[in-house]
Chains A and B, each alone.
Chain A
Amino acid sequence: MPAFLYEHALDPLGEIEQYQKQHLRPGSYGATTNFIGTMRDFNAGDDVQLMTLEHYPEMTQKFLDKLCDEALEKWDLVDCLVIHRFGDIKPGDPIVLTVAWSAHRVEAFDACRYLIEELKARAPFWKKETTGDNERWVHDAPSG
């Protein structure tokens, strides 16, 4: 049930495979769901060349650890995992990964959705985009 913050590149599918090998017993789960958030090269009608993700390190870690605990309390999960990037990110780079493992699909879908929605609504990260010669803070997170 860990949460990790990476400044380096994130390989979401590699992380899932590695976590399963290291921490989960084969046969102990029947459903794995994941959400992968990836940086777009466009936003609000403009081309975006670079994004810098600022965060409040101690609070982010505390928040994400608590979020994983909440998911494990709310649903009958085998385990869950959250990984989020910070620092400079390029278009096409994965930004965030949430994963839920459970015996059956309903719990895994619901928990995975909960993890990403709560993260987006409350985890203390802030995106700054570079568009051409300009930099701008992203002010709102689209609901989709």
Chain B
Amino acid sequence: MTIQVKFFASLREKLGMESASVEPGAAMTIREIWDQVTTTDYPVNTLCAINMDYAKPDDIVNDGDEVAFFPPVTGG
């Protein structure tokens, strides 16, 4: 199984990366996913989601999940 990772908006542009995939050897947190697919520290204001629901950096990600990272939202 694979964990799909997506990046949006200014964060995607800053990282130069739209998506990534991770093959988890064991249970991983969102922060550990970030550390595995990027070379930067987790930005303070960055928001994250698991399977299209808001999550926290210390939440556990399971096989087959979709993880997303994005900056503060500005819709409406």
Contacts and interface: CB of A to CB of B under 8 A. Distances in A.
Contacts of A133: none
Interface residues of B, number: 16
Nearest to A63: B52
B8 A84 contact: no
Contact of B73 (A37, A58, A96, A126): A126
Chain A contact surface mostly? mixed
Contacts of A127: 74-75
Given A54-B9, A59-B49, A120 B76 contact: yes
B68 interface: yes
A104 interface: no
A136 B40 CA distance: 22
Contacts of B54: 122
A123 B76 contact: yes
Given A56-B70, A84-B75, A126-B70, 19 more contacts: A37-B76, A56-B6, A56-B49, A56-B52, A59-B52, A62-B53, A96-B76, A122-B73, A124-B73, A125-B74, A126-B75, A127-B74, A127-B75, A137-B9, A137-B10, A139-B74, A140-B72, A141-B73, A141-B76
B72 A53 contact: no
Nearest to B10: A137
Q: How large is the interface on A (under 10, 10 to 19, 20 to 34, 35 or more residues)?
A: 20 to 34
Interface in A12-55: 37, 53-55
Contacts of B72: 139-140
B67 to A, nearest CB: 11
B23 to A, nearest CB: 22
Given A56-B52, A59-B49, A95 B76 contact: yes
